Amino acid sequence: MRREGDDPFFEERLIGGFARLVSGGMRNEIKLSRPWQRPLPIAPEKCPFCTKPQEELPLPGIPFGWRLIPNLFTPHARHRLIIPDGCWDEPKLQRLGGFSGIFQALQTARLVIDNDMAERGGVEMAVFIHVGQSAGQNIGHPHWHIAEVSPEKTLKTRTDFERDLPALFVHRDQGLQVAALGARAGECLIVPTSIYNPTFETVTAASVAAVLEWLITRCNEKFASTEGRPPEFTVLVRISADGKFRYADYCPILSMWGAMEYALAHFEGGPITLPWPHQVTAEHLRG
């Protein structure tokens, strides 16, 4: 909404309905200084995936150079890790291995989900990865998580996503569209352009990988810090219980949360304050 006599001020309900966002006023420009950001935690000589024997889970058809292992330290059901054979250097990790690395990880996830559905039936699943310590990465070896999730309400992306287009529109390709949305500045949501969610087969996995590669590459450049570092980030891909692609989320860590975000927003439904509006992110990534 706009207040008379002030700079544009925005208050919105995050899609899904679980949080409120506020932005604008005097906080309407992208700030790229991140003196708190540390180098990626890559240390092959200390990496447990490289230096210690790991139990491997059998998975027919897994791409060459990838492994599936159990996650022993998790409260989540059906939680496993998808990892490449060895650690990657910093440029490769920052790009998640490019299209081939992202596609092979998602293709492995598809095989895991197909195998689960054949053996035990389908459940709601999430496939996700963290890059950088502020994004939750404590081991430098890239490791995609695949785990069962229990949402209170599944996100109906088609209706909610289109309400704010074209102001939040960023990119469209491969039957998918990208918009600047989420609880963090710079966050982007990827959903199908079709009314019905497609099955997460090879073609869809390839399409998601292609759009994620474009978005990661774009944000590595456009959100590079004044100190010379591309952003830390998370990627999450949601698969429905019947094997359909729901959405994907890219979330860079461009600012730190404060007390209102950590406490008030969760306990009382108070607003999450963005350092700049999502509309500004969309313009920045389009431009």
pTM: 0.94
> So where are the chain's domains?
36-286
Cα–Cα distance measured from residue 224 to residue 254, given in angstroms and rounded to the nearest whole number: 10
Per-residue tens of pLDDT for the chain, all 287 residues: 333 344 567 787 888 878 888 887 777 899 999 999 999 999 999 999 999 888 999 999 999 999 999 998 899 999 999 999 999 999 999 999 999 999 999 999 999 999 999 888 889 999 999 999 999 998 999 999 999 999 988 887 665 666 666 789 999 999 999 999 999 999 999 999 888 889 998 899 999 999 999 999 999 999 999 999 999 999 999 999 999 999 999 999 999 999 999 999 889 988 999 999 999 999 999 98
Helices 202-222 & 278-286 angle (0-180, nearest 10) = 90
- Is-contact 225 217, C-beta < 8 A? no
Contacts of 46 (CB under 8 A, 6+ apart): none
Tokens 């949501």 label which residue? 189
Q: What is the pLDDT of residue 163?
A: 61
Sheet with 9-13: list strands edge to edge: 9-13, 20-24, 271-273
**C-alpha distances out from residue 211 to 41, 131, 144, 145, 187, Å:** 26, 18, 18, 20, 14
Q: What is the pLDDT of residue 202?
A: 86
| Residue 189 phi, psi (nearest 5) | -110, 140
Q: What is the pLDDT of residue 214?
A: 98
Alpha helices, DSSP H, located in the chain = 48-51, 90-94, 98-120, 157-162, 202-222, 259, 265-267, 278-286
Q: What is the pLDDT of residue 121?
A: 87
- H or E stretch covering 80: strand 80-84
- Is-contact 62 48, C-beta < 8 A? no
| Residue 131 phi, psi (nearest 5) | -125, 110
- Is-contact 191 161, C-beta < 8 A? yes
- Is-contact 40 49, C-beta < 8 A? no
**Cα–chain center distance at 89:** 21
Q: What is the pLDDT of residue 61?
A: 95
Let me know if domain 36-286 sits in CATH 3.40.50.1000. Answer: no
